[in-house]
Amino acid sequence: MTKTIETEGLKPSIYGLTREQLIAWVIDHGAKKFRAMQIWDWLYKKRVQSFDEMTNIGQAFIEQLQATFVLNPLQQRQVQEAKDGTVKYLFELPDGMLVETVLMRQKYGLSVCVTTQVGCNIGCTFCASGLIKKQRDLTAGEITAQIMLVQQYFDDRARDERVSHVVVMGIGEPFDNYDNVINFIKTINDDTGLAIGARHITVSTSGLAHKIREFAETGLQINLAISLHAPNNEVRTSIMRINRQFPIEKLFEAIDYYIEVTNRRVTFEYIMLSGVNDLPEHARELVALLKDKKKLVYVNLIPYNPVSEHDQYSRSPKEAVLKFYDILKKGGINCVIRQEHGTDIDAACGQLRSKTMKQDQADTKPFDAVTVGFEAKIK
């Protein structure tokens, strides 16, 4: 059984309830639906930081809320702000585990990348997150709280900016924590709350085919990204062992089903690893793989972020990336070369966390809670 914070005897966060679930809880506790709407409003519109600030809720009901839930389950342990405006947060969970969240400043708004698990069991050979086996799933409340704390960071600095986009691309495999991730998406998407538009939310999966099918049926209009990273089974299995369980044929059956049900476009992520998957023949194979759905796919070529433990990989040279891009374009495939963010901080998934864990192990002193909120020096 996966450990959850509830099994540890800790109170769950109220951010873990969707609006429907909050209404059900409130009615169950003897109050009317409008009470739930008031609480929802305090949480997501006024964004209070304690239950006591909910001034139109009676004291007895506040006490019931406090006896059942915590509001914010995360503590900010480090913040790094890069020159390009990228901000990276290291948060501590109630059981002391660490997760990271990244805010990217894009032309179109503020985009947050959230973490869904502590570690990841998929074990892709190029990824820093996969170095740590999954310790546990994050609860829906812990995922939503990442958005709330990033928003609070901007609220506190009186920067009149709203988190407008969310990518579920931090540590963890979101479809291996499916129910919590879906609840999180429903909560941030709710138009009476944070109201982050479905088309501004992207979830990325390493390709759990059965979950892609389930996801197709939710009716959520959010964007789906698939970590493809290779055009054939041989290369894909060598870098993503999940490809043994869900080889390209099975994965594409699920993707075809998703496209058929939703009529939505799918993004394919493709990390450019020098000499591994970046040759012209790989590009030609990719064109062949995607040719029957040209209008409905988008390929994102991603520069590899070097991970010191994975020194067998290096970043593809610029010429190789441009050549690859060119072959895709000529083959009629929509394609972009993704820009990097926060290269002067540890912006690749899992990097800040794994570095901090190493420092902690090296430290003789145990972690001191006073360092919460400390601004890390930018490299």
Catalytic residues: 100, 349
Q: Which one of 110, 127, 150, 301 is in contact with ligand SAH (CB under 6 A)?
A: 127
305 binds ligand SAH (CB under 6 A): yes
Which positions from 262 through 281 interact with ligand SAH, judged by CB under 6 A? 269, 271
List the one residue from 98, 120, 201, 299 that touches ligand SF4 (CB under 6 A): 120
Among 173, 269, 278, 346, binds ligand SF4 (CB under 6 A): 173
The count of C-alpha atoms lying within 13 angstroms of the C-alpha of 10, restricted to the half-sphere facing its C-beta, is: 19
Piece of 52-60, 91-99, 150-158, 169-177 that binds ligand SF4 (CB under 6 A): 169-177
Tell me the number of residues near ligand SAH by CB under 6 A.
16
Contact (Cβ atoms closer than 8 angstroms) between residue 356 and residue 321: no
- In angstroms, the Cα distances linking 169 to 28, 150, 259, 314 are 36, 16, 21, 21
Which span (34-42, 57-65, 127-135, 280-288) binds ligand SF4, by CB under 6 A? Answer: 127-135
CA-based diameter of the chain, in Å?
A: 68
Q: Segment 228-267, which members bind ligand SAH (CB under 6 A)?
A: none
Helix (H), strand (E) at residue 355: helix 351-362
Place of tokens 């963890």: 172
Name 314's Cβ contacts closer than 8 Å, sequence gap at least 6.
273, 274, 304, 306
Report 153-192 residues binding ligand SAH (CB under 6 A): 169, 173
Report the C-alpha gap between 345 and 372 in whole angstroms: 18
Exposure string over 121-143, b if 16+ CB within 10 A, otherwise e: ebbbebbbbbbbebebbbbbbbb
169 binds, among ligand SF4, ligand SAH, none (CB under 5 to 8 A by kind): ligand SAH
The residues of the shown chain that bind ligand SF4, judged by CB under 6 A, are: 120, 122-124, 127, 129-130, 171-173, 206, 227
The residues of the shown chain that bind ligand SAH, judged by CB under 6 A, are: 126-127, 169, 173, 204-206, 227, 269, 271, 302, 304-305, 307, 348-349
